[in-house]
Structure 1
Amino acid sequence: MNCFALTALAASALFSAQAAQPNIIIIFNDDQGYQDLGCYGSPDIRTPRVDELASEGMRFTDFYVGSPVCSASRAALLTGCYPYRVGVSGVFWPNRDHGLPPEETTLAEMLKKAGYATAAVGKWHLGDELRFLPTRQGFDTYFGIPYSNDMYPAEHMRYAPDCLWREGQNFQTLETAFAHKKRGQPRTLKNKVPLMRNEECIEFPCDQTTITRRYADESLRFISESVESGKPFFLYLANSMPHIPLFASPDFKGKSAGGLYGDVIEEIDFNTGRILDRLKMLGIEDDTIVIFSSDNGPWLTVGDAGGHADPLFEGKFTSFEGGQRVPFIIRWPGTVPAGTTCSGMAATIDLFPTLAALTGAELPEKKLDGVDLSSLWKNPHAISPRSTFFYEHNAVRSGNWKYHRKEIFKVKKTKRANTGPTLYNLKDDVGEAQNVIADHPEVAERLSKMLDAHIQYAPRPRK
């Protein structure tokens, strides 16, 4: 046995003896469709390691994100609140001086206060100004792309002295690009994004063909260092893909029956497996909560590059099920029963209070919109503490009933004559195909009033 392994085993033994708090890993993919995992029915994308994770834990069928777009969805996950209630209602762009308000308490800040080492790896997308960066929002370290991988660097981006310049880029080319920008966007820099470490760019443009592997490499380093330190850890791994543009390394490109999109998912699956293997090698898999999910539904309008939400209707940008119902898997050996499926309603806003309850962390004074799901994690047949969910200001689900005030479509061929109000019974009609509002007007009226009350409680922030 080599020295590293001996050190890791000794550190693991010390950690297990001292820590009563579980480690936490949240893997949050970008624009991955509900169907695009083997354990969720994908016919052509192979995901053996994530399927293994599901077989060792619990797979949710009715799990929701706080928004059908990137920034708002991430704000909901990290604050336990509907995103518009914390000032985030859409997508953040570079050079706009906006982000998740620093006065909001993030999941990382709560866990750090409870003694956790914290790291953000991957896509951030909650503001690129200094005061909005992960290192100012509770994370000890950050390594990743600060926004979507189809964007461009901000003019105020700080570059490390030893920044790796690629593709002929340098300070002069950036200056020229910004001098000729239109509507704030330097067209020649589209899809050229910075790779940051903490608060500086260390590579521009980022080599996205290797980024999925490098995110995993960074995660493995953080896990091992945390174990050696004897501290519980929180890793937020937000993969930049399968958001377009899609990139895969040579080891995975052209290998999936699901095309380039499938290549990307299968590479994410492989690197998820590397993380799971490291937990096992360090002897901490029983002490670690692993969560695997997506920030919103698939970007269907980009065709084969956008994934699949079947059997759900529509996708990203909409309040249909395909826009906000996502895959969600959790493994915690000895606490979460293995090989189980849960059909109880749950959401990313629930992770904040649930993890607080399981770690003993102190909740912020601000009222949260999430509920403690720990009873559901321990028993998939328990009644979910969540009975209602609001799809931004457009729709509401109560029990099996879902009411749309107005239906918004993004894929033209799916548009229907009746755009709302509409009512669906999701138990019998998960594809939202049969509008039954004429048969149940009293249900529609009740849900409409619930939506009115929610809009008053959580109005959209002013632009």
Structure 2
Amino acid sequence: MRPVLTVLLCSLLVPTFLEAKEKQSNPNIIVIMADDLGYGDVSCYGATELKTPHIDQLAADGLRFTSGYCSASTCTPTRYSMLTGTYAFRGKRTGIAPPNSPAIIKPGTETIASLLKRAGYTTAVIGKWHLGLGGKGGPDWNGQLKPGPLEIGFDTCFLLPTTNDRVPQVYVQDHRVLNLDPADPLWVGTKKPSPDHPTGKTHRHTLKMDWSHGHNSTIHNGISRIGFYTGGHAARFRDEDVADKWVEKSVEFIEQHQNEPFFLFFSSHDIHVPRMPHERFQGKTKLGFRGDSIVQLDWCVGELMKTLDRLKLADNTLVVFCSDNGPVLDDGYKDGAIEKIGKHRAAGPYTGGKYSVYEGGTRTPFITRWKGRIQPGISDQLVCTIDLPASLAALTKQGLSDGECRDSFNVLGALLGENKAKGRDHLVQQNNGNNGTYALRVGNWKLHRYDRKSARNVTVEAQLANTKVPQFQLFNLTDDPAEKTDVLAEYPEVAERLKTQLAKIIEDGRSRPKK
């Protein structure tokens, strides 16, 4: 009987052993998403007016993409598509979310977090959220803030709930506002709560950073914001401390889960307005607070990489560095970004930036590093943040149904720099929400489509001006990477082919082929 028992026990233990072995073989994954960081904003992509040594080292140790994209040129739609693997223009309310937005991604939606959780990962998002919280009525700021990240696959979260130029300036930990005093309830609204409520208009003389447009409602920490709020004083943070808090909570998460596969979405708020870096970074560059915020972001990257080294996790961690959209200089505050720009070119060689479907709006720094697995180098393969769900599902051997991640392509081989691996063959770009502004890149052809027949001004310095444009424009990125010359009249057959392809992608409701 003993040999039989031994065989039986072994047969029971082998699957468990293999599962544990496979679980251990899956790398930890950290996605670092910068905010409003342009292609030319870091030194490894050509910046000469400031230095980003930690991001540069990440690129030197890994793969630097020259055709790495986000899928939209504003924050909410890019974050939506990165998490869900589906173009944001297919969803509802996917434009820049207001302070009281309900959860945009509904519970039960397959996301990058739920896929990795299914694969045995512990998952966290730390940093800017800006995808809404709560049910149909919006956030219950004094109660449970659900649904939210924990209902779409994250085990834990530590958030800036909206974006810092919008109220309220509080942290959300899991389902609640952190340090909220019930005796001082938090109220968030769209209308002035009382005639004597201080705003950027009525108390402009008290501001430590003046506004240029739009950011002139409730004042907190000497900076006026979009929207109104009262109360919650014990829960409010100081702008200068936000980046430190993201690093503190991220290091804590990594330390707690160093012995199991973990996924960390480090969602930085740098370089978004209001740019108010910590005092130790202020004045570190000659570009003003915008440049100083880039240096602060670089420090954040360095602290995360040092943590991996200290815990001996670097060889088993895939790091992805990207941005949610391209750059903007004056985005509502007088912070010196335009006046001190000098020779710096935030979008690198490209035209446009945030709010634009020109290359500067969506082509951003994109770096992958996995020591010992990814060979250092430069890749011209076309990859996008929207491809992370399908690619990481493939890495961790998780299946996708046809209804999930409908525009996410498995470009894992390209992300890992495998020999002869290809990226995607086309990409749809959008500006914000689903307002009918698109671009389609296929190879080196780029078609613009403006259903409203107007577009943001193409200069980074003055993007808020609307300019009349033809509904369609065509550019050859090989000859004209800055998209200066519309060649639609010269290549009508190419334009028609791309118009048809773009219309089909929009109408089909998906671009990832069905099984």
Note whether the superposition's TM-score is higher than 0.5.
Answer: yes
Structure 1 residue 421, shift from structure 2 partner: 2.0
Q: Percent identity?
A: 34
Q: Any gaps of 5 or more consecutive residues in structure 2?
A: 1-19, 135-144, 200-214, 226-231, 339-344, 431-436, 511-515
| Conservation of the 8 A alpha-carbon contact between 1:192 and 1:204 | no
Give the whole-Å Cα distance in 1 for the aligned partners of 2:186 and 2:84: 39
Query: What's the counterpart of residue 484 of structure 2?
Result: 433
DSSP-derived class of the 1:423 partner? strand
Distance 1:204 1:274, change over 3 A: same
1:355 is aligned to 2:408:
no
**CA deviation vs aligned residue, 1:155-196 (integer Å, no higher than 9, x gap):** 9x986584389xxx95488799545699xx992257679xxx
Give the whole-Å Cα distance in 2 for the aligned partners of 1:161 and 1:279: 27
Query: What's the counterpart of residue 270 of structure 2?
Result: 241
Match of 1:285 among 311, 314, 318: 314
Query: What's the counterpart of residue 140 of structure 2?
Result: none
Give the whole-Å Cα distance in 2 for the aligned partners of 1:177 and 1:84: 32
Distance 1:96 1:212, change over 3 A: closer
Structure 1 residue 309, shift from structure 2 partner: 0.8
Structure 1 residue 417, shift from structure 2 partner: 7.5
1:370 is aligned to 2:370:
no
Structure 1 residue 304, shift from structure 2 partner: 4.8
Query: What's the counterpart of residue 232 of structure 1?
Result: 261
| Conservation of the 8 A alpha-carbon contact between 1:126 and 1:132 | no
Match of 2:245 among 180, 201, 214: 214
Query: What's the counterpart of residue 316 of structure 1?
Result: 354
Give the whole-Å Cα distance in 2 for the aligned partners of 1:418 and 1:138: 42
1:264 is aligned to 2:293:
yes
DSSP-derived class of the 2:251 partner? helix
Distance 1:437 1:109, change over 3 A: same
Match of 2:121 among 108, 116, 124: 116
Structure 1 residue 53, shift from structure 2 partner: 0.3
| Conservation of the 8 A alpha-carbon contact between 1:389 and 1:397 | yes
Structure 1 residue 106, shift from structure 2 partner: 1.3
| Conservation of the 8 A alpha-carbon contact between 1:294 and 1:326 | yes
DSSP-derived class of the 1:217 partner? helix
For residues 183-194 of structure 1, the aligned pairs below 5 Å read 187-189=217-219
Structure 1 residue 299, shift from structure 2 partner: 1.9
Query: What's the counterpart of residue 162 of structure 2?
Result: 147
Q: Which has the higher helix share?
A: 1
Query: What's the counterpart of residue 503 of structure 2?
Result: 452
Give the letter aligned to residue 119 of structure 1: A
Give the whole-Å Cα distance in 2 for the aligned partners of 1:419 and 1:89: 25
Aligned residue pair count: 429
Give the whole-Å Cα distance in 1 for the aligned partners of 2:234 and 2:127: 14
Give the whole-Å Cα distance in 2 for the aligned partners of 1:210 and 1:337: 36
Match of 1:131 among 134, 140, 146: 146
**CA deviation vs aligned residue, 1:394-424 (integer Å, no higher than 9, x gap):** 2211110001123612357688775442111
Match of 1:77 among 66, 82, 87: 82
Give the letter aligned to residue 356 of structure 2: T
Structure 1 residue 452, shift from structure 2 partner: 1.5
Give the letter aligned to residue 279 of structure 2: P
Give the whole-Å Cα distance in 2 for the aligned partners of 1:266 and 1:255: 8
What is the TM-score with the length of structure 2 in the denominator?
A: 0.76
For residues 392-407 of structure 1, the aligned pairs below 5 Å read 392=430, 393-406=437-450
Give the whole-Å Cα distance in 2 for the aligned partners of 1:249 and 1:374: 37
Give the letter aligned to residue 307 of structure 2: R
Give the whole-Å Cα distance in 1 for the aligned partners of 2:309 and 2:505: 44
| Conservation of the 8 A alpha-carbon contact between 1:298 and 1:315 | yes
| Conservation of the 8 A alpha-carbon contact between 2:23 and 2:261 | no
**CA deviation vs aligned residue, 1:274-320 (integer Å, no higher than 9, x gap):** 11011111111010001111100112444853881121101111111
DSSP-derived class of the 1:187 partner? coil
DSSP-derived class of the 2:239 partner? coil
| Conservation of the 8 A alpha-carbon contact between 1:86 and 1:101 | no
1:305 is aligned to 2:320:
no
Give the whole-Å Cα distance in 1 for the aligned partners of 2:245 and 2:281: 15
Query: What RMSD, in angstroms, separates the aligned Cα atoms of the two structures?
Result: 3.2
Give the whole-Å Cα distance in 2 for the aligned partners of 1:388 and 1:174: 42
Distance 1:411 1:373, change over 3 A: closer
Structure 1 residue 101, shift from structure 2 partner: 2.0
Distance 1:161 1:233, change over 3 A: closer
Give the whole-Å Cα distance in 2 for the aligned partners of 1:317 and 1:458: 23
Give the whole-Å Cα distance in 2 for the aligned partners of 1:203 and 1:59: 43
Give the whole-Å Cα distance in 2 for the aligned partners of 1:52 and 1:349: 25
Give the letter aligned to residue 218 of structure 1: K
Distance 1:97 1:282, change over 3 A: closer
Q: Any gaps of 5 or more consecutive residues in structure 1?
A: 1-14, 194-200
Query: What's the counterpart of residue 3 of structure 1?
Result: none
DSSP-derived class of the 1:150 partner? coil
Match of 1:410 among 443, 446, 457: 457
Structure 1 residue 28, shift from structure 2 partner: 0.5
Give the whole-Å Cα distance in 2 for the aligned partners of 1:357 and 1:113: 13
Structure with greater Cα Rg: 2
Structure 1 residue 222, shift from structure 2 partner: 0.4
Give the letter aligned to residue 163 of structure 1: L
| Conservation of the 8 A alpha-carbon contact between 2:474 and 2:495 | yes
Query: What's the counterpart of residue 196 of structure 1?
Result: none
Give the whole-Å Cα distance in 2 for the aligned partners of 1:139 and 1:443: 43
DSSP-derived class of the 2:71 partner? coil
Give the letter aligned to residue 42 of structure 1: A
What is the TM-score with the length of structure 1 in the denominator?
A: 0.84
Distance 1:202 1:331, change over 3 A: farther
1:252 is aligned to 2:281:
yes
